[in-house]
Amino acid sequence: MFNNKSKKLLLASSLLVAAGAANAGYDIKLSEEDKISFGGYIKVDARYVDGDLAHSQYWAGSLLHPDSGESKSQLNLNANETRFNMKYTHGDVMGFIEMDFYGGGTHGGAAANEKISNSSNPRLRHAFIKYKNVLAGQTWSTFMNTSAIPETADFAGPAMGLVFIRQTQVRYTAGNFQVSLENPYTWGGDTKSDTMPDVVARYNFKGDWGNVSVGGLVRQLNVDADNTDTGIGYSVAGRIKTVGKDDLRFQLHGGNVGRYVGVGSTIDIANGEAEDTTAYLVAYRHFWSEDLRSTVAYANSKADTTDWESSQWSVNLFKNLTKQLSVGVEVGNFSRDDQDADSDYAQLSLKYVL
């Protein structure tokens, strides 16, 4: 058993060791009940886009040159997806925090841009506490099955078919059943009148064959200060093992899912009423060998009222150079059918898992 002084000395020395080590994650035992873990990765991306649309990896299909009426090209190199996380465990209590470098704001009094220093600010991804079956804090929505996200070079891949959202919540888990109260936000409506939490329930089916989750979402959507609507949505998602190490990943979402789906592809309130959205994704990953694999993916989302429709397909090839270091190349296309606009892209990524 370590005393407090010993813990501090051990933690300080362990941080130095972890910073220079080269294996996948670090677990440091401070006592019989106390353990601290570090993880994350460094990722460098080179991305070339040609067409009508920019793909910021967060806004699915924003116009690259909305006023020109011409097809344009764009090259971007960045390391913003790089992330770091830390977990502290004490008996039944666990705290977890993670950040990456997609944050906005300023750096040294100047806007964070590409003119001089590429100042990419830290951004909070996860910060939660878990005690036995209860979780409280910011993390992936309970509505989201993270195992159903395909492996892609493009961050989040064909995002318009994903439930992809992190937010503060209180979640209770009982076996395969989960229920949560999550932060409300009526995108396109009166966000100042959001007073009721979003309610999510989910059941997970698991086995040697993989997993499938079925989820439901109920939310109060505030059209304006005087009018509200009840939003109801569903989600079915999973990852199924097929031949060898290959797997099939899929997602299907519908109803008033709005901001939960598509990373900006759809909206909650349109023309004074709750938007109805249908989104889906399918991806197959094949292992050519132990260290060589490919994923082909397609996703689509469509909103009824606004008639917003976006889609993306991609195919890639990943190669593990070492256990922690991999390189990947990906080509694909994303489009906004309601704007009659699309772009092709090619991306090269290098990823080193800490």
Buried/exposed 109-118: b ≥16 CB within 10 Å, e otherwise: eeebeeeeee
Alpha helices in 85-127 (DSSP H): none
Specify the pLDDT at position 72.
81
Q: What is the pLDDT of residues 9-68, one digit of tens each?
A: 344 333 333 333 333 478 888 888 899 999 999 999 999 999 876 554 434 444 444 445
Q: What is the pLDDT of residues 134-190, one digit of tens each?
A: 999 999 999 999 999 999 999 878 888 999 999 999 999 999 999 999 999 999 999
Tokens standing for residue 287: 């292992």
pLDDT at residue 318 tops 90: yes
What's the Cα-to-Cα distance from 23 to each of 46, 237, 246, rounded to whole Å?
25, 32, 25
CB atoms within 10 A of CB 73: 11
Q: What is the pLDDT of residues 80-95, one digit of tens each?
A: 999 999 999 999 999 9
φ, ψ at 286 (rounded to 5°): -120, 135
DSSP code for 291: T
Specify the pLDDT at position 64.
47
Q: What is the pLDDT of residues 255-307, one digit of tens each?
A: 999 999 988 788 999 988 999 999 999 999 999 999 999 999 999 999 998 88
* SS3 assignment, position 66: coil
Q: Which of 162, 159, 151, 158 is nearest to 294 (CA)?
A: 151
How many domains, in total, are found in the chain? 1
The distance in angstroms from the start CA to the end CA of the chain is: 28
Specify the pLDDT at position 129.
98
C-alpha to C-alpha distance for 126 and 103, rounded to whole angstroms: 13
Based on DSSP, count helices (H) and strands (E) in the chain, helices before strands: 1, 24
Find out whether 161 and 266 touch, Cβ atoms under 8 Å: no
pLDDT at residue 97 tops 50: yes
Higher pLDDT, 26 or 315: 315
Specify the pLDDT at position 109.
45
What's the pLDDT band for 116 if we cut at 50, 70, 90?
Answer: confident
C-alpha to C-alpha distance for 325 and 24, rounded to whole angstroms: 10
Specify the pLDDT at position 61.
44
User: pTM for the whole thing?
Assistant: 0.86
Print the domain residue range for 189.
Answer: 4-353
C-alpha to C-alpha distance for 23 and 352, rounded to whole angstroms: 10
Q: Assign residue 215 the CATH number of its domain.
A: 2.40.160.10
Question: Distance of alpha carbon 255 from its chain centroid, rounded?
Answer: 21
Q: What percent of the chain shows pLDDT beyond 70?
A: 85
C-alpha to C-alpha distance for 253 and 230, rounded to whole angstroms: 17
Q: What is the dihedral of CA 127, 328, 112, 75, to 10 degrees?
A: -150
What's the pLDDT band for 121 if we cut at 50, 70, 90?
Answer: confident
Q: What is the dihedral of CA 199, 206, 161, 187, to 10 degrees?
A: 10
pLDDT at residue 341 tops 50: yes
Specify the pLDDT at position 8.
43
